Amino acid sequence: MRNDTVLPDAPPGDLAALLPPGNVVVLGGPGTGKTALLEAMMPALVAGSVGGAVFLTSSRQAAVASSERLLAASASAATGALGCVTWHAFARGLVTSHADLLAYRGEPRLLSGPEQWSLVRSLLLETTGVDWGGLAPLVDTRAFTDELADFVLACERRLIGPDDLLDRVGAGGPPAWAPAAAFLAAYGERLALEDSVDQAGLLAQAGDLLDDTPEVLAVTVARMGTVLVDEAQELDPAQLRLLELLVAGGARAVLAGDPAGTTDAFRGATPGALPGYAERLGGSVVRLEQSRRLGGPGLDAVQRLQGAGGQAPVALRGGRTTAVEVARYPGPADEADAVARLLRVAHQRDGVAYGRMAVLLPSLRRTVGPIRRALERYSVPYRLGAGERQLIAEPIVRYVLDLFRLALDPDRADELIPSLLTSPLGGLDPRELRALRRAALLADRTLARHVRAPSAELGVDARVAGRVTRLCRLVDQAGRWVGELDADGCFWEVWQNAPAFAGLVRRAEADPTNAAAARQLDALAAFSRALALFVDGRPGASMRTYLDVVERADFAGDPWLSSAMARADAVALLSVNAAKGREYDVVVVAGCLEGTLPRTTWSQGLFEAWRLDGDLDPVARAQATLDAERRRFVLGASRARDRAVFTWSRAEGRGEPSRFLAELGVQLPGEPSPPDQTPLEPLEAAGALRRVLTDWDRAAAERLAAASTLAATPGVDPGSWWWRRDWTHDPEPIAAEGRLRTSYSRIGTYEDCHLRYFFGSVAGLDDRTSYQMAFGKLMHTVFELAAKGEVADGPEALKAAYRERFDPAWFPSRAVAHQFWRDGMDMLELWHRSEWEAAKRALAFEIDFAIAVGGHLIRGRIDRIDRLGDGIALLDYKTGRTLATEEQAGSSLQLAIYYLAALRDPELAALGAPVKMQLVYPARPRQGRFTRVSQHPGPDHAQRVEQRLLTLLDGAAAESFDPNPHADCRFCQFKTICPMWPQGESFLAPAQPPAGLTTSGSGHEQGAGR
């Protein structure tokens, strides 16, 4: 019989004394002190005469946090037993210390997430005993492995074995479960054969151990005495069984949890089941109803949300005031910026420590990038906890992996070299990289090719050149290591040979408080261990195999947690789910969009793992899904003590605010919130005051106040303000002796907008290698190989050559990759039907040229040259879909340059007179062939082209870089730093001239005050 008691509002130590004897389930809403109550019980239990206590929780971070609090609060030095562990750690202790009873031949090897996936994949590829039926064509895909690896773990968590699964098929379960049951059996056998166990299997085996060996149960219970379970609403069947066995063996259990707070239902937890556990364990129920965290609007909002879910929450009273705010922003970048700014203002103005703030995101994997970049821009320190980042995403580890990626695939140099250069392995700073990029542009080659030039030709100072050369040498060495050594050995060689790592060790030794160096060393040590374990499990496994396994993006949390960062005063950046059990002063829940929070679409999955928990009809399943999402939202909404901020923005004009925002009971803003103008730094404050000061529309008093504040602001010197300057003032001219070396595409950019040319080609800010470029290069290659006869005759050979070279990793998503893949296939069809014959008769392909124009040099490449009557036609393939008109082709600068090149380049001139230049569009069929638009040279074409070019080349050489008000800005990436656009006006825009300074002249440098 259940005995519900409401505990009074008292300190945790007093409450612990009020708990009834026997097994107890403590129910409480957010912030009611459940964890604190369990922690308060620990010291007395550990010190007491009847057994001790084991304190269990669901996540490693919660376990670490509780252990730290327990140890900090303990006055005694004998604190060995004072700690909190995860269920997995507890089960691992049982299994490894009784490995012989479980028929292991030594200590079992615990598989990490990637290793479990890898085992499923290799079993799938080598096991032929499972008849997958209609699923057979999918078996060797990675997506199938993803699904099956998850399904295997889902079964283990729910204690469902192969026979149970088969029985469920007989009872109407999905037919795919029949082969999955056979696979599950094979998987279990392989694990036993290799003396290994996966994470979910640990719990099941610990349960088997206690069930089958009463003496082990008796010893365990005698040693533990009491088992304290935090986050008990998340217990899965395997954990629950373990708990029931311990209680049956004589242990006392005290469970604490929020019955309305289950967010791990997908892992097998049963929502709302917690109060019923008291009956199962023969215990009593007590309630905590006073929230120490929430109050006022924040508490009202949480209760409204819970009420909307239809599930009765625990009664909750609050004593504080938690403010609730909702803000909308125009787009994700503005939202990320606003969030970073908000945190910085809260820290600087309101004095909130960074470590007391958090940003919660619906899905870290998809949305963390913009937020991280914004936090870095605003100098807001942040940390990602274990489970929030994979070890391989840790920057220092990522660079090492990038080194090996490059060593294994030198074609990725354009993509990987820039970040490697600025990594610790390269050692360049962004300014040095820009200088190198600029030198590459002036030398007219890609950065990847340029770094391979002799040191003296790199065009940068000797110190930088030395670092570049050392990095290239390391890449070459890595190329040898990946061919000769296993993954572990490869890392060891890099560790020994990269000077950066020796420097890192020196820095950490010289300054033990250097958190950044400590974190990098921690990460490298953890990475080394992970590699050693990987090779241990798969002897001889190469770096390619390792990369193949870890490049899957969706492993759950890995076991690495940087101790240096865990304690740092930094904003926590977490997924909503990972915020369980945490509390902050300020919490921002970002990305509150319908479709994201709540997620409104769920894949069924090949194996429909959700049916393991019962077969719901579609309406009931949709309702259950929505309720689960609401609980997730409540979790995020209930983490803040003082201030909870919910933000959302539309991505590319699409997206509606989360329905849960309406349930909060606050007014949603109809329009995007204006940017926060609060200055963050003296310079920003000075800028804002100067704007007020020079705004004639403002009241005189306001301007006067701005002037006096400016005068009193330290570090502000009106003498250093400037109002006008040239776009560049580099004493080194861009074009030595006024002679420019450029390409037709760059000078084409200059013609459209001088400033864009400056940003992209002179300042070296254009480092984009777009997927469109990669795709275009591929199509050019296939067309050329086919026309030269290097691909066998026939559409299948053509497509095979395409398939071999197409890499979905170029594209931002699989959907985009798929679209391009289809476009490419269509182009090849058309090419084969109507272009191949003519292409085979072409005179030349991919011809490089270099021509002099008025003392300048223009380089370029022509895709194809055809014979046309007595003359030649010059062709350029455009694989994009935007079609130029005949008129645009007639005035195309690119085609005009081709014409000049065909007249002046001796090799091209020998082929005949140019009579037509064409842009050819493989993606745009017209009348059964590629669409073509042409330029036909008139009698004075050469002179007109030369004149047009000279104006541009002289302008660029003379460093005339004004923005063009009539430029085609649609695809310009520099809008944010272009004074022609509102978002960039403050970057280069001149201020008003101080009185007395001349407003005429050629634009002298007046100092650089901004």
**Residues binding ligand SF4 (CB under 6 A):** 753, 755-756, 963-964, 967, 969, 972, 974-975, 978, 980-981
Entry field: residues in the chain: 1010
Min. distance of Cβ 965 from ligand SF4 in angstroms? Answer: 7
Question: Of 482, 468, 500, 312, whose CA–CA distance to 395 is shortest?
Answer: 500
Min. distance of Cβ 755 from ligand SF4 in angstroms? Answer: 4
Min. distance of Cβ 765 from ligand SF4 in angstroms? Answer: 11
Query: Do residues 724 and 990 make contact, with C-beta atoms less than 8 angstroms apart?
Result: yes
The Cα 19–Cα 28 span in angstroms is 14
Query: Do residues 897 and 945 make contact, with C-beta atoms less than 8 angstroms apart?
Result: yes
Decide whether 720 or 976 has the Cβ nearer to ligand SF4: 976
Decide whether 278 or 978 has the Cβ nearer to ligand SF4: 978
Min. distance of Cβ 752 from ligand SF4 in angstroms? Answer: 7
Min. distance of Cβ 963 from ligand SF4 in angstroms? Answer: 4
Question: Of 308, 92, 362, 113, whose CA–CA distance to 205 is shortest?
Answer: 92
Decide whether 753 or 858 has the Cβ nearer to ligand SF4: 753
Decide whether 694 or 770 has the Cβ nearer to ligand SF4: 770
Distance of CA 986 to the CA centre of its chain: 30
Contact residues for 791 (Cβ-Cβ < 8 A; gap 6+): 782, 785, 797, 798, 801
Min. distance of Cβ 748 from ligand SF4 in angstroms? Answer: 12
Pairing outcome for strands 252-257 and 226-229: parallel
Decide whether 38 or 893 has the Cβ nearer to ligand SF4: 893
The Cα 209–Cα 238 span in angstroms is 13
Decide whether 774 or 978 has the Cβ nearer to ligand SF4: 978
Decide whether 62 or 978 has the Cβ nearer to ligand SF4: 978
Min. distance of Cβ 132 from ligand SF4 in angstroms? Answer: 54
Decide whether 564 or 972 has the Cβ nearer to ligand SF4: 972
Decide whether 536 or 767 has the Cβ nearer to ligand SF4: 767
Query: Do residues 132 and 607 make contact, with C-beta atoms less than 8 angstroms apart?
Result: no
Decide whether 30 or 963 has the Cβ nearer to ligand SF4: 963
Question: Of 845, 665, 804, whose CA–CA distance to 299 is shortest?
Answer: 665
Min. distance of Cβ 749 from ligand SF4 in angstroms? Answer: 9
C-alpha distance across the termini of the chain, in Å: 75
Decide whether 781 or 964 has the Cβ nearer to ligand SF4: 964
Decide whether 537 or 979 has the Cβ nearer to ligand SF4: 979
* DSSP calls for 135-188: GGGGTTSHHHHHHHHHHHHHHHHTT--HHHHHHHHHTT--TTHHHHHHHHHHHH
Decide whether 235 or 755 has the Cβ nearer to ligand SF4: 755
Decide whether 409 or 726 has the Cβ nearer to ligand SF4: 726
Min. distance of Cβ 989 from ligand SF4 in angstroms? Answer: 12
714: phi then psi, degrees, rounded to nearest 5 = -65, 145
Min. distance of Cβ 726 from ligand SF4 in angstroms? Answer: 16
Contact residues for 140 (Cβ-Cβ < 8 A; gap 6+): 124, 125
Min. distance of Cβ 967 from ligand SF4 in angstroms? Answer: 4
Query: Do residues 455 and 465 make contact, with C-beta atoms less than 8 angstroms apart?
Result: yes
Min. distance of Cβ 991 from ligand SF4 in angstroms? Answer: 20
The Cα 532–Cα 489 span in angstroms is 9
Min. distance of Cβ 768 from ligand SF4 in angstroms? Answer: 14
Question: Of 189, 229, 2, 224, whose CA–CA distance to 93 is shortest?
Answer: 224
The Cα 105–Cα 111 span in angstroms is 16
The Cα 676–Cα 657 span in angstroms is 21
- The single residue listed with the structure tokens 């060891």 is 492
The Cα 845–Cα 756 span in angstroms is 31
Min. distance of Cβ 970 from ligand SF4 in angstroms? Answer: 9
Decide whether 888 or 947 has the Cβ nearer to ligand SF4: 888
- The single residue listed with the structure tokens 């669409």 is 931
Min. distance of Cβ 974 from ligand SF4 in angstroms? Answer: 5
| Residue 731 DSSP SS3 | coil
The Cα 933–Cα 569 span in angstroms is 61
Min. distance of Cβ 973 from ligand SF4 in angstroms? Answer: 8
Min. distance of Cβ 962 from ligand SF4 in angstroms? Answer: 9
Decide whether 757 or 921 has the Cβ nearer to ligand SF4: 757
Query: Do residues 487 and 545 make contact, with C-beta atoms less than 8 angstroms apart?
Result: yes
Amino acid residing at 166: L
C-alpha distances out from residue 395 to 383, 493, 506, 733, Å:
13, 19, 19, 37
C-alpha distances out from residue 430 to 71, 454, 501, Å:
44, 22, 20
The Cα 867–Cα 859 span in angstroms is 23
Decide whether 742 or 749 has the Cβ nearer to ligand SF4: 749
Triad 221, 226, 228: Cα angle to 5°:
125
The Cα 989–Cα 526 span in angstroms is 48
Tokens of 907: 């090799």
Min. distance of Cβ 981 from ligand SF4 in angstroms? Answer: 6
Decide whether 917 or 980 has the Cβ nearer to ligand SF4: 980
Show the DSSP H helices in 761-857 as ranges.
771-787, 795-805, 814-830, 836-840
Contact residues for 918 (Cβ-Cβ < 8 A; gap 6+): 873, 874, 875, 876, 889, 895, 932, 933, 934, 935
Question: Of 5, 67, 19, whose CA–CA distance to 39 is shortest?
Answer: 67
